[in-house]
Amino acid sequence: MDRASRLENFPISIFAVVMGLAGLTLAWEKAQSIYGIDLHINGILIGITGGLFLLLLGIYLSKIARYRAAVLAELRHPIKLNFFPTISISIILLSTATLQMAPRLSELLWFSGGSLHLLFTFYIMNIWIHHEHLEIHHMNPAWFIPVVGNILVPIAGPALGYTEISWFYFSIGILFWLVLLAIVFYRVLFHNPLPERLMPTFFILIAPPAVGFIAYTKLTGEIEGPARILYYTGLFLTFLLLTQVRRFARLEFFLSWWAYSFPFAAITIGTLLMYDHTRLPGFQLLAAVFLGILTLIVAYLSYRTAMAVSRKKVCLPEG
């Protein structure tokens, strides 16, 4: 397949790679802060994540310029549509990662990512409400992606001085997470199983409560009852999915495997935050285990993705 055809099939879902790397960056940043050590890797991880984002964004902008019909097809696709907000989520995560190192850059990224994500939310929800082609089998955990982005905004927002705006985004995210959660479980329990390509998206179920816990704690400064409910919901879902690891391990590699990374990063950061507030040794041990697993997941996914790219097994037509 020639380079032009590969560009035409460049998938919007590839920005999930940036989300996974950003999650790893934030997890290691939080771990170093809590344990009072400096491994001098924050700048490296941020640089890699930011550089990859710019590279992927540049390629996708080229696709928009040269293959507008292919981009419009993704925007109309009932599943691929939900991956467009991974662009704005990547910007929001980069804002959070640069908060301590470069506050002004962080603020610029926060406004840009938050505004873009709100536009994506309006666009996608309008399609959900006024659709003529959506069916229950189109529903899968990837539909949470537009919601998760809203819950991410309050993580850096209060530190930047935008508390009320942060509550606005938090409210949107939590409300529609609960709505979609009920629909996802209805689809999973009473309809055909998800296709293998989408099975890894089950891990996205972890992200809303885990990110919601982090955001709520940033907004209130304390770990109250609602925060604990969010954290333990995310923790339960993590353990539930880990009991099915053999089922996931048998799947053929797709880019959708990157759905394992960011949700696991979210529960890792949440566990580090629980240890930071409670100082209970159980959370310390669990956070260390999760951080090790997260690092291995991202390293393995990076290797498998690099191999797939070198063998030209990505950016292929579907079917």
Give 156-168 pLDDT, tens digit per residue. 999 999 999 999 9
Output the six-digit token pair for 41: 């890797």
Q: What is the mean pLDDT of residues 185-191?
A: 92
| CA angle 267–259–14, rounded 5-degree value | 130
Model pLDDT for residues 39-83, shown as the tens digit of each residue? 999 999 999 999 999 999 999 999 999 999 999 999 999 889 999
Percent residues over pLDDT 70 in the chain:
98
**What 3-state DSSP class applies to 247?**
helix
pLDDT per residue over 3-34, tens digit each? Answer: 668 899 999 999 999 999 999 999 999 999 99
Cβ pair 107, 115 in contact under 8 A: no
245/215 Cα distance (integer angstroms):
28
Which helix (H) or strand (E) segment holds residue 197: the answer is none
State the pLDDT at residue 113: 98
pLDDT one-digit tens code per residue, 81-105: 999 999 999 999 999 999 999 999 9
What is the dihedral angle through the alpha carbons of 287, 292, 295, 301, rounded to the nearest 10 degrees?
-110
CA 48 from chain centre, in angstroms, equals 17
Pairwise CA distance, residues 291 & 249, whole Å: 20
Domains of the chain are 3-310 (1.50.10.150)
Count Cβ atoms within 10 A of the Cβ of residue 238 and give its class: 0-12 exposed, 13-18 middle, 19 or more buried.
Answer: buried
Average of per-residue pLDDT across 253-279: 95
Between CA 73 and CA 293 the distance in angstroms is 36
Give the torsion sign (CA, 274, 33, 151, 57): negative
